[in-house]
Structure 1
Amino acid sequence: MMSLSRRQTRQITLGPLKIGGGAPIVVQSMTNTDTRDVPATLAQIKRLARVGCEVIRVAVPDEQAARALKEIVSKSPLPVIADIHFDWRLAISAIEAGAHGVRINPGNIKGRENVARVIKAAKERGVCVRIGVNAGSLEKDLLRTHGGATAEALVESALRHLDYIVGDLGFENLKVSLKSSDVWTTISAYRLFSERSDFPLHLGVTEAGGLIPGTVKSSVALGILLAEGIGDTIRVSLTRDPQEEVRVAYEILRSLKLRERGPEIISCPTCGRCEIDLFAIAEEVERRAAQMEAPLKLAVMGCVVNGPGEAREADVGLAGGKGVGIIFRKGKIIRKVRESEILEAFFAEVDRLLEERGGSHAF
């Protein structure tokens, strides 16, 4: 089996997590609740933790949101990053509230003295800082020099901030992102930066879009970069429930054999032989499997032709027929049930397998 070698970066800390330096690639997401609504934000963070999210970022648009962070951080099962734009004072308030990290865009926090204030507070509290460079908010002089938001402009912006924060301020608990909504600009920027710095990189395509376009753009950009060994944390940005971001992120990592979490689901695209509602069945299997951690291989097949034969490597599988379904394990049929019972029988068999392996019930 092919294994990818990862680019060696320096290791930093984000709360209890180690990032870079050979640590596992970290999956991140962002809440879309109003941060000032503490119960709603915590509820979403807990849902995201259940599907494998490892770091959560929350928007901090004002002082009320910054104050809410104190309770959010104290009750969150995940390290919390405060997302800051424009107002350096919000970054300091977030740090004082206990945030494990802050994401700042030095390009829109005006004045080096204000950046220095944020870094001083982060250094005193052991907080991680992400320098988040975005194509949409680059410094005007770089846009003029490079003729727009090019990959070279993104990299020059990031290195400029690193020179100041590391060289002048002596702060190194940093990671960097260089995001564009354009796939090739994103790929080129991360490649160029990787040649010039060993700071850990947070990968993402900004404003990638809805479920289908966002998944495709993120999979292409992140897949290429990860295959080249670039990237230490990732977020798949989707105009969707953030739980979908986590699911897509893990599927990207799984496809490259970089990380496994939860089942791999094999399902056929359906054809004229299919006589069951396979779309609904597959969606339900995916929904329930998102709560699992065990790396099983599950098959959801539309007919016996594409059942045990095509999916013989599956740990547990189902296949439909006219009014009936079969449950199989490693290509061997073990049960035939009515169509209405197929999901119940399938989940029961998954639970049975996990018990045999010494695990807990899955569903």
Structure 2
Amino acid sequence: MRPAALAPSVVAALLFAAALCRPSSATSMDGLLPNGNFEYGPKPTQMKGTEVIGKYAIPSWEISGFVEYIRAGQKQGDMLLVVPEGSYAVRLGNEASIKQRVKVVKGMYYSITFSAARTCAQEEKLNVSVAPDWGVLPMQTMYSSNGWDSYAWAWQAEVDVAEIVIHNPGIEEDPACGPLIDSIAIKALYPPRATNMNLLKNGNFEEGPYIFANTSWGVLIPPNIEDDHSPLPGWMVESLKAVKYIDSDHFSVPDGKRAVELVAGKESAIAQVVRTVPGKVYALTFSVGDASNSCEGSMVVEAFAGRDTVKVPYQSKGKGGYKRAVLRFVAASARTRIMFYSTFYTMRSDDFSSLCGPVLDDVKLLSVRKP
């Protein structure tokens, strides 16, 4: 005897439950993780005020600890909680975390991009991990005026299922004083190679983390002390503060679709070590400009190639534009460290709380004949 057919609504419910239990296959294309913007929330019976009750109450996610489901425009005392994308976000209280498992390709490099905002605690930080890699991203410095920043973090897949965890390690008197999290995306990274047209890898910065199409504040690349695998392939952030990865959809970029903004003076430096032949002459060329983001005034980018250096001044009107610069040097060893940073701190003229700085792009290194 044939078993009775299940009602369509029951079949749909079973399929949805199965989807929550298995790893996502969303990595076949770059973009938001399943329910990465938290627009699908808990049922009313799984909420106690704003607190989420139940490990699997938020679809596609597993939570632990004090996690809140926050609606855009919600108030906390006199503070209005803003959500950067859509209508909902989550807030991680003391020792709380969110977790999702995704299918990846073993050996490949990946980065995640997510948006985060401080609420009432000043020393907030986030522990981001995909075992065995992890990094603690400090949030003391906010770079955008609306209170939200997007961060990137990278890892190399050691197994074919990655368990992405974002955890708030903070201990505050008020457990609700934790960071807001929204819009979590993944992107596969393809480390570029040096060529006979450019001895530097990824000199045009086209390969990098996912940038959200509906945000206008770029993505912060953390210092390499926080991230063993750079979300900006080929480059290391050798500084205390982050650099900002920007796109031509929202900023003025000298060449192509992507560039780097040096947003924190000498604390915001990027570097790459390149193979050279001792005694040979090399030319390091690059573009210096502004992002058309009201970052005005006198700027200086300092470029280093081993022991040689050049200072490139740029007078910014904050409306876009750039100039080319060159540093010629004789290689002193088989490996030469190329580094860039901004001499000065700069604030946006329309918002004195937002750090900004010169844009760096189209960096090339070639050997040249001796004159």
TM-score by length of structure 1 reads 0.27
**Higher relative contact order (Cα pairs below 8 Å, separated by 6+ residues):** 2
Q: Judging by fraction of residues, say which structure has more helix.
A: 1
